[in-house]
Structure 1
Amino acid sequence: MPARKAVQLLIKARWIIPILPAERVYQDCAIAVSGGRIVAILPWEEADKQFTPEQSVNLDQHVVMPGLVNCHGHAAMSLLRGFADDYPLDTWLNQHIWPAEKAHVDGDFVRDGTELAIAEMIRSGTTCFADMYFFPEQVAKVARRAHMRSQITFPVLDFPTNWGEGPDEYIAKGLELHDEYRADDLIRIGFGPHAPYTVSDEHLQRIAVLAEEMQAPIQIHLHETAQEVEDSIAKYGMRPIERIHQLGLLTPQTQCVHMTQIDSTDLALLTQSGAHVIHCPESNLKLASGFCPVGQLIDNNTNVALGTDGAASNNDLNMLGELETAGLLAKAVAGNPAQPSAHEILAMATINGAKAMGLEGEIGSLEVGKAADIIALETKHIGCRPIYDIASTLAYNNRSLSVSHSWVAGRALMLSSHLQTLNERDIADKANAWSKKINRE
């Protein structure tokens, strides 16, 4: 008998949903991890014969799957969770959120808010998140310290904020941050023009050129509301997506966030450009912004990924809840209970998010050679019994499941529901202190 091979980690699970191959479920199998990467997926008995692990984790009441990919958010806004609820978007932004940000947002606010957000995301199964917010250098530091995979897009707007005086300064700072993390294996820096209505043609064009030269991602709020589209037609004589297309900003590296207002010309531009749609159903529902036509996008071969948006408008960062809402809403909007399927819903929260970020070769599915970004969910809760189809349970009944383990590149972020890279009590104390400060003022 050949000698057993030493590996870093062996995860034995009742079920494994790899996402790719599509619609596949493995039962009573193990994942072997070495050097932070998946080296094998095989039955328990074969794993015991082939490998000697440094650490073995037995999860015989669990389902294991790729870590969830949260493709859009504003992490530090977790400190504004519940601060201004039940307002339309324009009122919410102009009368509540932007004044609060002007008064309170600085490096410390972003550091503490990002820690709070990452802790919540780890607890709910996210292993990779996209962020667009001020002081992105603080977001990057916290993400690196927590060993969390991330895409951090630095904001660009035409007006001054607490982070800078205007577009030229934002871009200069962002390029410096990009250079600092150029070789980082977990953090990718990109461009975050806030929206077509807050960034001029001149600066959108400059971002398009720089992003192409650097092969960097672009994330932009787009077609979030009907009013945005109407205002663009009145001012520019065209819809926002047509405008950014003409400016060179709509490419396979562009992530279009929200897209609740889509007509046939928009669909054609998305298909032609290869741009991605980031669907944030719960934030859109809460702000009454509209419905993203996920079924139409899927039919047109447009990649649809999911994001939570910020906790100030959601009010949580739980991607499990988001994927369930996305699936149910898509069926209602399309009038088709078969689309999307449970496996397609899970794909939107994993491999589709990886594709949107240009990371599909690294994460988003459990395949040999990919990074070991893995989560485990416990299934012993009475509310999820019986289990006929574990993918359906995850898509439609995941409130009865709890995330118990999380790894990024083979390093544990959570074991048996205990965070490993963050101090939860300290984070909660800081959040409470910020709440008291903001309430006083």
Structure 2
Amino acid sequence: MQLICPEWIAPVAPEPRVLAGHAVLVEGDRIAGLMPADQARALHPSAPCTELPGHLLVPGLVNLHTHAPMSLLRGVGDDLPLQAWLEQRIWPLEARLMSPEFVYDGALLACAEMALGGVTCFNDMYFFPEQVAAAASLVGMRAALGIIVIEFPSAYGSGAADYLRKGLELRDRLRDDPLFSFCLAPHAPYTVSDESFTRVARLSGETGMPVHCHLHETAAEIAESEARFGRRPLRRLADLGLLGPELIAVHAVHMDDSDLALLAAHGASVAHCPHSNLKLASGIARTARMRELGINVGIGTDGAASNNRLDLLQEGRTAALLAKGASRDATAWPAHEVLHAMTLGGARALGLADRIGSIEAGKAADLVAVDLSMLQTAPVFDPVSQLVYAAGREQVSEVWIAGQPVVHKRQFAESEVRSRVSEVVGRVRLWHNRISEILPVGPGAGVS
């Protein structure tokens, strides 16, 4: 048994609230209880206690959408719209660079960045997911690994059927590892065939796995779908049997009223990635309306190649401000609801709400302590408002995943993790040189 005694606790569930002077009891990898700190110390006088004055304790943050290995492509396609970004930068680079080593190094870089910013679980979509799993395992992070589905071949496999086979085999191998879950991850309506979508729908129905798919990201995507298939992408997926509580619609920027009504009626979730949407000029998602309709919204960073930082706290602040500005309603998406989206909303979308996302007895002890005593967050009237509107990831001081310390005093708790991350950071320059040889991606480079 160990006690964690911060100044404030925001448990997220069963209702939004802030508790002062309370402690979280952790036994093994689980939360054993939540009670007044004095009572906890009296009941467990020999239990080690982590005292955290000036800190807010929240559930571990859930990054609902990312491409972790793309951290090695951070900055290679800045100031480009989505199609040019994909066709002139990302896909050509991936065709030349894709390998298990590339994926592992990029994923470890991403896991380190995310963990230091309070992310304890991330939902990934990329090739060689076994390498993403290896990187996450080293750091001690929880990951929902995407079983990628895309029609074109890569160094990872020959196409959609091969990717599915390999992903399902990995799921079987990691079935008993409590840190990993899986999503079916068809890339997007414009890169996945009806046949592959139908198979994904069948597998999701058989296994209960969520379906994680880029959807309605740009206006061009809508126009192309209407030209090729005679209907909007979401309607096409609905006709193919993919619309239900398992669907995670990533981006969901260009959703009209009928689209949002479909999502709400079928209990689907949205992975909102505000910075990526803004940087690629894709648009602003109608998140205030989504919340009004009861659609479950989680928050994702997308990959570092389109963001360029895996900072969920910053995403949450921007999400709140965009919802207010776009709806012209200052009450839209208040701070406590944003914290819910960054934690339990993401967990619910991944089918993990019974295990993570809130500070409740019986759940995994995935916890994050944020230091609000720093001058940039003083004074503190509402700790959750300070977390969403004022705090930065540099104020994350402690992170536990499954009861184990992952970050301690703003550094990785394990010296081995610090050492291995340093090795990868040392190799980043080598990757930079290889990338620079392939495309002119430096500052001011022209687009070929």
Amino acid at match of 1:440: E
Which piece of structure 1 moves more, 245-254 or 306-315? 245-254
Q: CA deviation at 1:401?
A: 5.9
Aligned to 1:407: 400
What pairs up with 1:293-332 in 2 under 5 angstroms? Answer: 293-332=286-325
What pairs up with 1:81-120 in 2 under 5 angstroms? Answer: 81-120=74-113
Paired residues in the alignment total: 434
Aligned to 1:3: none
Q: Secondary structure at the match of 1:310?
A: coil
Which piece of structure 1 moves more, 28-37 or 309-318? 28-37
Structure 1: state its 5+ residue gaps. Answer: 1-6
The two structures have a TM-score, normalised by structure 1, of: 0.96
Aligned to 2:41: 48
Aligned to 2:285: 292
Rounded to whole Å, the distance in 2 between the matches of 1:436 and 1:234 is: 41
Verify: 1:74 aligned to 2:70, yes or no.
no
Rounded to whole Å, the distance in 2 between the matches of 1:418 and 1:363 is: 23
Verify: 1:363 aligned to 2:363, yes or no.
no
Rounded to whole Å, the distance in 1 between the matches of 2:393 and 2:73 is: 28
Amino acid at match of 1:222: L
Q: CA deviation at 1:53?
A: 5.2
Q: Deviations over 1:296-324 (max 9, x none)?
A: 11111110100000000000001000100
Verify: 1:439 aligned to 2:436, yes or no.
yes
The two structures have a TM-score, normalised by structure 2, of: 0.95
Q: Deviations over 1:74-116 (max 9, x none)?
A: 0000001111100000000000110011111210000011100
Rounded to whole Å, the distance in 1 between the matches of 2:156 and 2:18 is: 47
Which piece of structure 1 moves more, 400-409 or 334-343? 400-409
Aligned to 2:427: 430
Q: Is the 8 A contact 2:372 2:391 kept in 1?
A: no
Rounded to whole Å, the distance in 2 between the matches of 1:45 and 1:190 is: 42
Q: Is the 8 A contact 1:67 1:375 kept in 2?
A: yes
Verify: 1:143 aligned to 2:140, yes or no.
no
Q: Is the 8 A contact 1:22 1:343 kept in 2?
A: no
Q: Secondary structure at the match of 1:96?
A: helix
Q: Is the 8 A contact 2:398 2:406 kept in 1?
A: yes
Amino acid at match of 1:11: I
Percentage of pairs with the same residue: 44
Structure 2: state its 5+ residue gaps. Answer: 439-448
Rounded to whole Å, the distance in 1 between the matches of 2:207 and 2:160 is: 18
Q: Deviations over 1:315-374 (max 9, x none)?
A: 000100010010100111111100111101111101100100011111111011111000
Classify 1:127/1:407 alpha carbon distance in 2 versus 1 (closer, same or farther; 3 Å): same
- Pick the aligned partner of 1:391 from 378, 384, 390: 384
Q: Secondary structure at the match of 1:398?
A: coil
Q: Deviations over 1:368-423 (max 9, x none)?
A: 11110000011222111111111110111113861010011101111111203522
Q: CA deviation at 1:54?
A: 4.9
Rounded to whole Å, the distance in 2 between the matches of 1:228 and 1:144 is: 36
Verify: 1:242 aligned to 2:239, yes or no.
no
Classify 1:348/1:400 alpha carbon distance in 2 versus 1 (closer, same or farther; 3 Å): closer
Q: Secondary structure at the match of 2:205?
A: helix
CA RMSD of aligned residues (A): 1.2
Amino acid at match of 2:434: K
Verify: 1:198 aligned to 2:195, yes or no.
no
Q: CA deviation at 1:11?
A: 0.6
Q: Is the 8 A contact 1:384 1:401 kept in 2?
A: no
Amino acid at match of 1:276: S
Q: Secondary structure at the match of 2:48?
A: strand
Classify 1:53/1:297 alpha carbon distance in 2 versus 1 (closer, same or farther; 3 Å): farther
Q: Secondary structure at the match of 2:271?
A: strand
